[in-house]
Amino acid sequence: MAQHLITSALPYINGIKHLGNMVGSMLPADVYSRYLRQRGHDVLYICATDEHGTPAELAAKERGIPVAEFCAEAHDAQKAVYDGFQLAFDYFGRSSSPQNVEITQHFARRLQENGFIEERAIRQVYSPADGRFLPDRYVEGTCPHCGYDKARGDQCENCTRVLDPTDLIGPRSAISGSTDLEVRETTHLFLLQSALQGEVEEWVARHEDEWPQLASSIARKWLTEGLHDRAITRDLDWGVPVPADTWPELAAEGKVFYVWFDAPVEYIGATKEWADQDPANRDWKSWWFEAADVRYTQFMAKDNVPFHTVMFPATELGVREPWKMVDYVKAFNWLTYYGGKFSTSQKRGIFTDQALEILPADYWRYFLIANAPESDDTSFTWEHFAATVNKDLADTLGNFVNRVLSFSRKRFGDEVPAGKEAGDAEARLGEEIARLLGEYESQMEALQFRKAASALRALWSAGNSYLEEKAPWLEIKTDPEAAALTLRTAMNLIHLYAVVSEPFIPASARSMRSAFTLAAGDTATWVTAEEARSLATVPAGTPFTVPPVLFAKIAEEDLDTYRARFGAAE
């Protein structure tokens, strides 16, 4: 049994996330965590809301409420959606927590002691109309690289290039819209990333051959371009305060740490939150400090890769303490909506709360993972979504479960029938199921989600092929004992499907498992190759019920409604 630490990129506090955010980080992390738990590993899946920075302040200002109150409400709203998606976090924390403040300030002090932080006077945008310096995200304008006219002063959402506010063409205040901006001098703390470049390069070189090509290529690109010293403080009212015991003048000015300095620390902070809220939890440091026996996997979309493969590793290395660094970075491309970007800020595409209003979580979970944007961007279309749900979930899996259980109850009653001993067809089926199960396991171990979904789909299809071959609706006419064997074997497939499908479709898996009342209770966590070959976990005489329809088909009129509500091709 291994220890697995899993984190997914922190969803920003401002607004409910869209499906692209879900498939790019939290959902695959959940699928992988569920799989590892089923295989008997010690797993800790940590996530949190990323609550500091400009958008939170702006959103709270728009609502007319204190930013702390806004973040508390938004955290609860996001958590409710993630619960609806059946995301089984061990803990879902908040980057505004006292624990994150404590650890972030500790990191900053250590970097200072080790000579990796420097105070520098810089020229920063000041808005007379607002009476304040404007942090990066408070400045908007046109990106000088791609021409996107809503670029922010820290990063262009369109081309993902990191920017400074002074790079923007036609800059304006995000608060008042004023273009009457000045550049004045102010003092900030800088992390001397340039001094850590060599160490980061050595660290990346030890991992990049193992990482997906997307993650390693982005990290290498940033290192090739060279690491630049980066300001890690901002002029904001909301954030982790610069500690007065180390930088009294800056603390007196109300400086806070830049959100991209404190947010990655929250992975550690949230683990301490998890431990503090329940004394029964293990010491949080055993996951993060001198934790060589822990396997740490991070999940994120490609725009977050530079921060997790270069910038935060530089911070951890500079602290000069044995904090756990990521072992494997699972990076994703983008899910697009009919070829255009999902966008929280521009309200384009389907948002996760809306998705759950329309259909159960398992429909979305399966579709998103089966079409995860691993090798390239993937386009969401309603037509593709409906075809996948109808073919794979409704026809291949749902129909198999309903046909088998309904037919058996009608012909043999409410218990699994006995019938003949297994024959050649069952032996062939068992070998095929064992082979496909091995393929499914190997793809899950490799974090190849689309291939894992394909193997899972093949497992479901094998049951349908067996049913068509044996045709119990014909066997029952001439050889009822043979039909009973076929149905008993098929019911064992249903139970097997319930166990191995749980990472993808947990609610439907529970429904399938609850159909059978096993005498000793249903304690199965996974299926061994031997159990897959024998298909005898559910013995004859086991009481069963027919669950409600697992997956209702999506009709063309449904698609018309969805396209009208969310738009189709642009």
Q: Could you tell me which residues are annotated as the binding site for Zn(2+)?
A: 143, 146, 156, 159
Contact 559, 383 (CB under 8 A): yes
Q: How are beta strands 139-142 and 169-173 bridged, if at all?
A: antiparallel
Q: What is the DSSP letter of 168?
A: S
Token representation of residue 369: 């993972």
Contact 463, 495 (CB under 8 A): no
Measuring CA to CA, how many Å separate 313 from each of 17, 270, 283?
Answer: 27, 18, 23
Contact 408, 417 (CB under 8 A): yes
Contact 74, 14 (CB under 8 A): yes
Task: Point out which residues pair with 45 in neighbouring strands.
Answer: 6
CA 563 to chain centre: 26
**Exposure of 101 in the CB half-sphere (CA atoms within 13 A):** 12
Amino acid (one-letter) located at 173: S
Contact 74, 12 (CB under 8 A): no
**Residues that constitute the known binding site:** 143, 146, 156, 159, 344
Start-to-end Cα distance in the chain: 50
Distance CA 48, CA 62 (A): 24
Contact 242, 189 (CB under 8 A): yes
Measuring CA to CA, how many Å separate 129 from each of 56, 139, 164, 509?
Answer: 21, 13, 21, 58
229-241 as b/e, with b when 16 or more CB fall inside 10 Å?
bbbbbbbbebbbb
Name 21's Cβ contacts closer than 8 Å, sequence gap at least 6. 11, 301, 342, 344, 352
**Residues that constitute the known binding site for ATP:** 344
Residue 333 buriedness (CB in 10 A; 0-12 / 13-18 / 19+)? middle
CA 527 to chain centre: 26
